[in-house]
Structure 1
């Protein structure tokens, strides 16, 4: 039925099988995203082959349950890439009105941390599949993956609330992240103008097309007026947006000559990637 809520699971997957499929013994899903590193030419061949084996094994098992399975190639050792990939999936699925669940236990520790943070930030249900034991030989490992999960015991995590920037601040962080360099306050004013943020729908620069001698007085008057309005815009930018971001440790400001330049910090970069808006 069109518009009906779907249940969607996201599974960053390492060399696991039981931890990925056990939750579907007691409940079902409409769609599952498997995040894998099975198409990474920079990774060791053995690692990619093993990853492909478990991804295919999990995919085939879930498809037999009539679940729509999508395999997304992701470098699971890159924290920011994992963060970005999961965030974009969540935003897409939420926009369609679907309910999302995150399995944070079927990959390595770094990936699990990223998955948990992303899931909590976007307020989706994050869960952990408990291991009852570990394989003793290669055949057992091929059957179960790195963990044996006989009991199918699942722990649901309580989401923490993070103090994140408002939408305007987040857009500024994404802009800085994508630029990858210091930008001037004029660049930021132009970005706010592009976003049509209240108070920045019109920008006021010194270049005024009133050059005739008869209009010199009017030109000077207009120039003063524009400089006053530009000064107010800069004050609003600094007081209502940049000071908040700097206080939270997301950006740094630096005065070079007469100009102020703004750059994103490592913390700000993580927050930008959490937004799911970074290309």
Structure 2
């Protein structure tokens, strides 16, 4: 009799555990669509210095969660930080260490089945084999920093305006589960004119306009209410350069807005560039690769 009772208890406990786990997985599926917008060289300093100048980005901040203290990995340069953003780890593990790395400068600690260090695109593809994903950029190096083989649409276009137009077209036509858009500015303007220049400020305002256009596209195609949108950058800058250890170079906005995201919430905890991929993974209830060191930014969720 004791054996029968114990067996029934084990079965009941297993059933309850399975139900709870299933429930947690469903709860963790936060939204149907995720759009990650990145802007090369967009510093937190320009947002602090010009309140009210970026209506679309500031609307995401007001209606979502944000920090202006998100830090880059070192060096505070482009390829190393774009890789960290998409790969959930720093250069010590993924191996991309310089501003223009197109292949790992150090051997990647792990090579995934798509031929690169495991990133968010491959993780989504493995968990959602039928998902549509679209990635667009206008700096060719970006195409070396994510698993293109896992993505349906890989768009390399010549300019930011063309990138905004093409990616809005893909969003409306394909309704991707995950969309990644990497604008090349205002980095180029910062190098040419300076991060504190009027020209840099005006270019940041143009990026804000592209963010507004993407949000309009989501709303027009009945996607906005079931979407989460990120806005962030790889690094900031000072003078006419970056790569050093000043806060102007290392701090960029990290803004999350959409379904199930706290509104008007300034993120209190530390956020690093490599926390982006794990946060997206959490939205889709995707198990994090063991080699990732980033953490989901949990305080943004209601």
Q: TM-score of the superposition, structure 2-length normalised?
A: 0.28
Q: TM-score of the superposition, structure 1-length normalised?
A: 0.29
